[in-house]
A and B are shown apart, each in its own frame.
Chain A
Amino acid sequence: MTDVKEKESAKSKRKSSMTAEFARRLVKSWSAKLGLILMLFIILACLIGPYFTGYDLNWQDQSLMRAGPSAQHIFGCDTLGRDMLTRLLYGGRYSLLMGITSAVLGAVVGIAIGLIAGYFGGFTETIIMRFMDVWSSLPGMLLCILVSAAMGNGFFPTVLALTIGSIPGGARMTRGQVLSERSREYIEAAESINCSKLSIMFKHLLPNVIQPSIVITTMSVGSTINMAASLSYIGLGIQPPAPEWGALLADGKNYVTTNPHLIAVPGIAIALTVLAINLLGDGLRDALDPKLRG
């Protein structure tokens, strides 16, 4: 009996060997572990935290305007006397969602563009990559402001603006990888057995070129969260009373000297999130680095 069981477990181990190996290496690196735990904590807090703070998003006590941290309001109250913790956690939902969505969307489009450019090469590649060069030479902030100005404020225009800004990075990265991978013989082999171009791109090339892009995407979640906050801060992006982190910062910007907690609370939240994401990205990079693979 045990023999059979052992065989079974050996089989399942083999089947997931690559994923398992990756997971093992991921948890082995302390930066990944720390980043992952921190990130999970932040996400969970934003998702379920607001229900446990004891205050509603729009609960208000005007006698507590700009009040500092206290036992009832551990992060104090904002300029209108609303509970800071509740607003911070609600705001995190927007910030995280915008950051992650636009980074992932940007990566997906960027990777597809990079695949096409790298695989087809020649004229197609020149056109696409020169276009990407022009694209990425525009300052990201300016691009976002342009899109927001054209599309208006709100969640979707902001996501779109951030997505557009993060496309060229993924495209460049992927194209470089494709160029080095394309000359390998298994791509020729795929052609000789009548694989279609699409199948070569997505079945053969993609899994072999995606790893660095995953790392870059993870890292770019940090910068898109930052960018989203910056947009809200200057009045584009999410509009009040929605409590996005950048909007919270903007809200408190006039009271930096008198009530520093108004800036410190959302500022530290942004910093912690970006730190967690970068730690996670570092860990991912180490875990995925094929040179470390035995």
Chain B
Amino acid sequence: MADNTLLEIKHLKKYFRVPAGQNHAVDDVSFSIQRGETLGVVGESGCGKSTLGRTIIRLLEATDGQVLLNGQDITHVSGHKLREAREKLQIVFQDPYSSLNPRLRIESTIMEPLQHSGRFKNKAEMREEANRLMELVGIDERLRQSYPHELDGGRRQRVGIARALALNPDFIVCDEPVSALDVSIQAQVLNLLMDLQEKMGMAYMFVTHDLSVVRHISNNILVMYLGQAVEKAPTEELFEKSLHPYTKALLSAIPSVDIHRPMKRIELKGEITSPINPKPGCRFAARCPYASPQCEAPQTLEEVLPGHFVQCCRCKEINSL
């Protein structure tokens, strides 16, 4: 199965320098993504989900660590190799109102990646390909000459998806692609993304804070807390049998539609710790109901059950494994 690995992320770190010190936005995160897989990344606002996605596809430079694409290190490549890598790694943005250039017509926006790829000889071929892409994502042909402001959110997001698909990528970071859309449109766009994956076989990294969305679309889920991966497991296993105290609290916050089943919410006390110059040791310890002195030691992500990784030194104890 090892040769089916598309991306391998090893000890990836992204620090931002801020006036108060170093903001550890992504701090030592390791995982891998298989071809055609959908990895959901969840966590609260500011935990580094989007930064992680952007660092992987080289929109941000990693501070440390490696990103291997098909076994090749792309963390610091430049020039021709960077262009090649970027063609394989694409992104769909959260806000369809700012992710499209307001001065470019829809057709130009979709044709742009084609122009830069150098795969097409002339405008006519590109236009044909753009038409195909528009059909693929379900944008009516009459909208070709429209400007983004003439389209609604769902259509704009489809344009963003078409642009990401244009280079035939192996991997797309979906950075909360539906959170700015209203619910009925959300479903359409999610289904479109899933259909496209079935047709074209690319892998998704689906960044979101919407747990029901992530359950619907992902094969595996990575839970992040303050820049670190605290738990990674297959979707159903994570929802049925989460092992990390933070994941448990997170999942207990999902509202239930069944009024006969009372919600047992695990309430977290205290504020989220600052990501600026964090202390070594478990980042969650300050709010964790199970915190103990041993949590002050640096933690590592360990495979507790097959395919189920947890970063918690008291994991076995708490879950009586």
* A binding-site residues for B, Cβ under 8 Å: 11, 14-15, 17-18, 184-186, 188-196, 199, 204, 207-208, 293
Contact = CB atoms under 8 A, between A and B. Distances in A.
A11 B146 CA distance: 10
Interface in B122-165: 145-147, 149-150, 160, 163
A15 B147 CA distance: 10
A208 B145 contact: no
B101 A186 contact: yes
A196 B93 CA distance: 20
Nearest to B167: A193
Given A194-B117, A196-B116, A208-B102, 19 more contacts: A11-B145, A14-B145, A14-B146, A17-B147, A184-B98, A184-B99, A185-B95, A185-B99, A186-B99, A188-B59, A188-B99, A189-B99, A193-B90, A193-B116, A193-B163, A195-B112, A195-B116, A207-B103, A293-B149
A185 B99 CA distance: 4
B185 to A, nearest CB: 18
A208 B59 CA distance: 21
B100 interface: yes
B57 A186 contact: no
A11 B243 CA distance: 59
B100 A188 contact: no
Contacts of B166: 193
A193 B91 CA distance: 9
Query: Interface residue tally of chain B, by bracket?
Result: 20 to 34
Contact of A191 (B59, B147, B150): B59
A192 B59 contact: yes
A190 B99 CA distance: 9
A18 B147 contact: yes
Given A194-B83, A204-B101, A208-B102, A189 B116 contact: no
A69 B83 CA distance: 73
A194 B98 contact: no
9 contacts: A17-B147, A185-B93, A185-B94, A185-B95, A189-B163, A192-B89, A192-B90, A193-B86, A194-B86
Contacts of A193: 86, 90, 112-113, 116, 163, 166-167
Given A14-B145, A194-B86, A188 B163 contact: no
Given A14-B146, A188-B93, A194 B100 contact: no
B12 to A, nearest CB: 18
Q: Which 6 A-B pairs have the closest CB atoms?
A: A193-B113, A185-B99, A207-B103, A185-B93, A184-B98, A194-B116
Interface of B: 54, 57, 59, 83, 86-87, 89-91, 93-95, 98-104, 112-113, 116-117, 145-147, 149-150, 160, 163, 166-167
B42 to A, nearest CB: 21
Nearest to A205: B101
Contacts of B145: 11, 14-15
Contacts of B147: 17-18
Contacts of B150: 17
A185 B98 contact: yes
Nearest to A192: B91
Contact of B160 (A14, A189, A195): A189
Nearest to A189: B99
A14 B150 CA distance: 11
A204 B89 CA distance: 21
A207 B103 CA distance: 7
Nearest to A293: B149
A82 B120 CA distance: 67
A208 B100 CA distance: 12
A11 B95 CA distance: 29
Contacts of B100: 186, 189
A188 B94 CA distance: 12
A188 B160 CA distance: 12
B113 A208 contact: no
Nearest to A208: B103
Query: For A15, A189, A195, A204, which residue has the most chain B Cβ atoms within 10 angstroms?
Result: A189
A199 B98 CA distance: 18
Contacts of B99: 184-186, 188-189
Contacts of B149: 293
Given A18-B147, A192-B57, A193-B112, A186 B98 contact: yes
A17 B148 CA distance: 12
